[in-house]
Amino acid sequence: MSATEVLRDVLIILIAAKLAAEIAERIKIPAVVGEIIAGVLIGPSLLGLVGASSALDVLAELGVILLLLQVGMEMDIKDLAAVGRASVSVAVLGVVLPLAGGYAAGLALGYDSNTSLFLGAALSATSVGITARVFSDLGALATVEARTVLGAAVADDVLGLVLLTIVVRVVGDGSVSVGTVLSTVLLAVGFLVVTTVLGGRLGVWLFRIIQRYSRAAGTLVALALAFALAFAELADTAKLAPIVGAFVAGLALSRTESRERIARELTPVGHLFVPVFFLQIGIAAQVDRFVDPTVLGVAGALFVVAVVGKLLSAAAVLSAPGDKLLVGIGMIPRGEVGLIFATIGLSNGVLGGDLYAALLLVVLATTLMSPSLLRFRLRALRGAQRLESEDAMPASGWL
């Protein structure tokens, strides 16, 4: 693909993203929903203005890294630690229930055990990018529900890594060793612990020096992005998703003296690249397969398992503060994680074309419905809190 073609695609994507965001704002739906729909419109399935390409993949990856970096910078590591136990509980239940449900649904639909196992694994994934964007757009990242969901999504990524390793080995070799599972778990957990503890100290020290001695405009924000990319590369080396590394980098930068300046200068960059990630989801969709009755039937069964399994995961925080339904809704979207599982299943010959299309339809449906449900639930909660505050008698009495 030539540089001219890449620039043309970027031109179309940026215009489509901003038009979609403007329309979404006017009709009162989350911008992320409008961007995904815009991706479907300009993609190969409909207008064919933009096709899948490696250049688009890179821009989309940069966009989601920027998104998770910004989300991490708005978090406090102490707040995340406060909901750590609840997040892990939600993550575990949110993996086990869809895995078991997907496996049972696959067997009931007549697929073999390997295919059913892969279906269950694909349904267990959770996309931190989708939920993070919605909570950020609604100014709700500071809520206990947002911290619980984002912490659970990071833990879900670690569990998903282990699960994917096991499933691919079982499907490919027929078995998996205990040593492989243990090494995968230790590497993933070790990465999170080391980078969170040492990264925070390194970030404070490094950016204090950069702020003190830098003179050129843009040095601070450029090195902050480089810091996030380095953590993303470390996460990839540890066989975790790069976005987990970007999130940890954001947590480290949130403790620096330059936090507000970095966040302010990163915002315009995010406006350019973050929408590319959401448009790519729509561009990758194959709408023509979605009208096949067989695909629709399978997708419907898997969709029920996907939604119910994640909603029930909120049962893990019954004794914890926060709205349980909001936590469950926040775990629903599959996004890029579900797409990765589906693609690996197709490339390994586990999933056929129809089953791959059904999984894509589930990923797309859960990704599109979650932002609107989150927005509706948050508004309902805020309305109830406002009514309670108005009905409560002032400390000094009504007179």
List, for residues 232-253, the tens digit of each pLDDT value.
Answer: 898 888 777 787 788 889 888 8
Q: Please, what is the Cα angle at 377 between 124 and 389, to 5 degrees?
A: 140
| 8 Å CB contact between 220 and 170 | no
Q: Of the ranges 105-109, 113-117, 340-344, 355-359, which one carries the lowest mean pLDDT score?
A: 340-344
* Per-residue model confidence (pLDDT) at position 158: 67
Distance of alpha carbon 160 from alpha carbon 79, whole angstroms: 24
- Residue 45 clears pLDDT 70, i.e. is over it: yes
* Per-residue model confidence (pLDDT) at position 399: 44
- Residue 81 clears pLDDT 50, i.e. is over it: yes
Residues 6+ apart with CB under 8 A from 212: none
* Per-residue model confidence (pLDDT) at position 161: 60
Q: Please, what is the Cα angle at 160 between 274 and 301, to 5 degrees?
A: 90
Q: Is 354 exposed, middle or buried (0-12, 13-18, 19+ CB in 10 A)?
A: middle
When comparing pLDDT for 391 and 4, which is higher?
4
Distance of alpha carbon 183 from alpha carbon 203, whole angstroms: 28
Confidence of residue 228 (pLDDT cuts 50, 70, 90): very high
The sign one gets for the Cα dihedral 128, 29, 38, 370 is positive
Average pLDDT (83-87) is 72
* Per-residue model confidence (pLDDT) at position 289: 73
| 8 Å CB contact between 372 and 332 | no
**CA atoms lying within 13 Å on the CB side of residue 329:** 20
Confidence of residue 387 (pLDDT cuts 50, 70, 90): very low
When comparing pLDDT for 333 and 342, which is higher?
333
Tokens representing residue 223 in the block: 């090195």
Q: In the chain, what percentage of residues exceed pLDDT 70? A: 84
The SS3 assignment for 287 reads helix
* Per-residue model confidence (pLDDT) at position 113: 82
* Per-residue model confidence (pLDDT) at position 125: 77
- Residue 304 clears pLDDT 90, i.e. is over it: yes
| 8 Å CB contact between 126 and 334 | yes
Closest CA relative to residue 302, chosen from 344, 338, 331:
338
- Residue 389 clears pLDDT 70, i.e. is over it: no
Residues 6+ apart with CB under 8 A from 86: 148, 151, 152, 316, 317, 320
The DSSP string of 106-135 is HHHTT--HHHHHHHHHHHT---HHHHHHHH
Q: Which domains does the chain possess? A: 61-274+293-379 (1.20.1530.20)
Distance of alpha carbon 257 from alpha carbon 200, whole angstroms: 12
Residue 176, phi-psi category: left (phi > 0), alpha (psi -120 to 50), beta (remainder): beta
When comparing pLDDT for 196 and 285, which is higher?
196
Distance of alpha carbon 234 from alpha carbon 255, whole angstroms: 20
- Residue 126 clears pLDDT 90, i.e. is over it: no
3 state SS for 30-82? CHHHHHHHHHHHHCCCCCCCCCCCHHHHHHHHHHHHHHHHHHHHCCCHHHHHH
- Residue 229 clears pLDDT 80, i.e. is over it: yes
Please provide the distance, in angstroms rounded to a whole number, between the alpha carbons at the two ends of the chain. 74
| 8 Å CB contact between 314 and 325 | yes
Residue 333, phi-psi category: left (phi > 0), alpha (psi -120 to 50), beta (remainder): beta
Average pLDDT (81-97) is 79
Q: 306-336: b or e for each residue (b if 16 or more CB lie within 10 Å)?
A: bbebbbbbbebbeebebbbebbbbbbbbbbb
* Per-residue model confidence (pLDDT) at position 372: 81
Q: Of the ranges 86-100, 146-160, 224-238, 365-379, which one carries the lowest mean pLDDT score?
A: 146-160
Residues 6+ apart with CB under 8 A from 72: 246, 247, 248, 249, 250, 251, 252, 253, 254
Q: Of the ranges 66-70, 86-90, 108-112, 152-156, which one carries the lowest mean pLDDT score?
A: 152-156
| 8 Å CB contact between 180 and 163 | no
* Per-residue model confidence (pLDDT) at position 326: 83
Q: In the chain, what percentage of residues exceed pLDDT 90? A: 6
Q: What is the mean pLDDT of the chain?
A: 80
Q: Of the ranges 15-19, 80-84, 195-199, 202-206, which one carries the lowest mean pLDDT score?
A: 80-84
* Per-residue model confidence (pLDDT) at position 111: 86
- Residue 339 clears pLDDT 90, i.e. is over it: no
* Per-residue model confidence (pLDDT) at position 165: 63
Q: Give the start-end residues of each E strand in the chain.
A: none
